[in-house]
Structure 1
Amino acid sequence: MKRIALALALTAGTVLAASPTFGQKTDQTGQGRAVVTILPSHPNDNLGQVPQGFKLKVNGKDSTVMNFTPLQESNSPVELVLLIDGGARSSLGTQFNDIETFVKEMPPGTKIALAYMENGRAVFASQLSSNADEVLKGLHLSSGFPGSNASPYFCLSDLAKSWPSHDRTARREVLMVTDGVDNYDRAYDPEDPYVDAAVNDSVRAGLVVYSIYWKDMGRANNTWYQNNAGQNLLLTVTQATGGHSYWEGMGNPVSLQPFLQDLRRRLNHQYELSFSAPSSGKPEVESLKVDLKVPSAKVDAPQRVFVTSAASARE
């Protein structure tokens, strides 16, 4: 009887040893891409050769640069959505000439659309088009009703989820004109869930987001605390996606022209970074740190990036 029990125990041990360990994780490799801006210190300068030999970390882990190439209209046209706050002060109308000039002076292949933040959605007033006159037909004063956007971050998430084009070769750029105040969480919170959701949605959709600070109509938005909170939340979004935030102190800028001119320069100095990185095997938004030093130039790289499995990246 003891021999039978011993034999059964040995058999059970053999079966357990041969069984797969389901909880064990295996190292996998994912892939991703990011748009990096390298802006020369002087407007008329060119970088010359494409920078090489830099390092990057994805989710804190060393990752491999697969390609780093300049983005041109010929291989990566620009799709730009101007997303204007529905509660913006009517004085924004004084800036319409600057906006019109900006739209008309963009390269012929650039497609632009106008959308307004209304009740948590990006409502299009004109569709993506390279025809400046068609685009500008949608330019109008906002309703100016306090809080009519619900939250600028709801509107950005909506835009990211319903981008009006399926051209994956195009660069997806967004310029938000808003005070950045989250009406659902007016206190500054670096972990604001709506801002975090907007960042994740934007990164997954491949958006590069810029912002121009312009005051809303609401009285509660006029305090120094609210203005500062709004600017910092916008900065969180633009830094995460590789864009840039523009403002002049706590008031509305005298002119949008310098900001729009700088944005145009940035669009002309963008590069596509493709990489491979350690991955869990699931599509995830991860942190990104790019170590790239270019003499006499400023490097803006996104702080977040979307990493997919190598298999899905090839599909």
Structure 2
Amino acid sequence: MITFRRALLVSSLAALVAVPMFAQEMPSEGPLPTSALINAESKNGVPLDPAMLTLEINGHGTPLTGVTPVHPGGTQLAILIDDGLRGSFGLQLPDLKKFINDLPPGVQVMVGYMRNGTVQGTGFTTDHAAATSVLRLPISAPGVDSSPYFCLSEISKHWPSNRPAARFVMMITNGVDPYNGSTSILNQDSPYVQTAQEDAQRAGVAVYSIAFTEAGMRGRRGSFSGQSYLSQVAEATGGRSFYQGFGNPVSLGPFLDDFRKAINESYTINFMANAPLSKRDTLTRIKVRTSQPGVKVHGPAGVHPGVVAE
């Protein structure tokens, strides 16, 4: 296994030869072709009706130029596991292995461990059996995980692939930001969490998560703080956050089934968005809705104009 930072050097060299639209230098003004990854959560299994979708950009109605279901060959999934999780997480490894092996052929997957603000991983592969070989017990030492949001920022800004695709992250972590001081309900405004979710929005990454406590963490206050941050990031990026009260789930299986369903119900929407004349990394606010009965749409709250997934 190699560190993510070392793998990034190889990706950077490859980018000198072919630079896809995700990595292009963005123009300073618009309108620009832009895309966003959304999830159409259906209660009755009915496919999304694109005609019932509406899009607002900065509060103004904007026409969609395309709505495309996410296909396996155009999907990249990064599973990020907190290396500070309790040792009992080992009981969940069979569920994770099954989830990865059951992914449709063509899905690119990577398994990485979040440790001391970096991601330890080997990059994407369509060899799902090889990806499961990376799974192991976490170190389970208090404090080894640092902040999971530093790791999310890193992988979002340095995505380990230059190939345009629908980008998903599944974080398995307690979600606590130890650098924001107290986990009190009155101290739930972390700049590091805000930065991580904005980095994910710029990269077009939908962030999903499963809350699982780490070694050394005690009490409901920490669980509440972590779950609140994970929910904040998921809502901001168009993902979902899964948790079971203030304790650890008996099995990850049901959550992973929900996650698989969410991927299957994901779509790429395309539209034109004006790029600001000031900062090139400024995010543009969007809101995606549907009037279709029995369908709820989850989408990012912000996008980077000019970033397209495919």
Is 1:149 aligned to residue 132 of structure 2? no
Q: How does 1:184-195 map to 2 (within 5 A)?
A: 184-185=179-180, 186-187=182-183, 188=185, 189-195=187-193
CA distance in 2, matches of 1:109, 1:164: 17
SS of the residue corresponding to residue 65 of structure 1 reads coil
CA distance in 2, matches of 1:134, 1:279: 41
In structure 1, the residue matched to 2:296 is 298
**Shift of the alpha carbon at 1:93?**
0.4
Deviation string 1:78-134 (CA, Å, 9 cap, x unpaired) is 11111000110011100111011101110011111110111101111x431121221
In structure 1, the residue matched to 2:94 is 97
SS of the residue corresponding to residue 39 of structure 1 reads strand
Equivalent position to 2:85, from 85, 88, 92: 88
CA distance in 2, matches of 1:159, 1:62: 32
TM-score, normalization: structure 1? 0.82
In structure 1, the residue matched to 2:62 is 63
Is 1:202 aligned to residue 200 of structure 2? yes
In structure 2, the residue matched to 1:108 is 105
TM-score, normalization: structure 2? 0.83
In structure 1, the residue matched to 2:235 is 239
**Shift of the alpha carbon at 1:278?**
4.2
**Shift of the alpha carbon at 1:65?**
1.7
Mean CA deviation greater in 208-217 or 262-271: 262-271
Equivalent position to 1:41, from 18, 40, 43: 43
In structure 2, do the counterparts of structure 1 residues 190 and 31 end up closer, same or farther at CA, with 3 Å as the change threshold? farther
**Shift of the alpha carbon at 1:51?**
2.2
User: What is the root-mean-square deviation in Å for CA atoms of aligned residues?
Assistant: 1.9
**Shift of the alpha carbon at 1:137?**
1.5
Q: Is the 8 A contact 1:50 1:70 kept in 2?
A: no
Gaps of 5+ in 2: 1-28
SS of the residue corresponding to residue 307 of structure 1 reads coil
CA distance in 1, matches of 2:41, 2:283: 26
CA distance in 2, matches of 1:271, 1:57: 17
Count of aligned residue pairs for this structure pair: 275
**Shift of the alpha carbon at 1:298?**
2.4
CA distance in 2, matches of 1:101, 1:73: 17
CA distance in 2, matches of 1:274, 1:248: 35
Is 1:222 aligned to residue 218 of structure 2? yes
SS of the residue corresponding to residue 82 of structure 1 reads strand
Identity of aligned residues (%): 34
Mean CA deviation greater in 186-195 or 31-40: 186-195
**Shift of the alpha carbon at 1:136?**
1.4
In structure 2, do the counterparts of structure 1 residues 286 and 105 end up closer, same or farther at CA, with 3 Å as the change threshold? same
Is 1:119 aligned to residue 116 of structure 2? yes
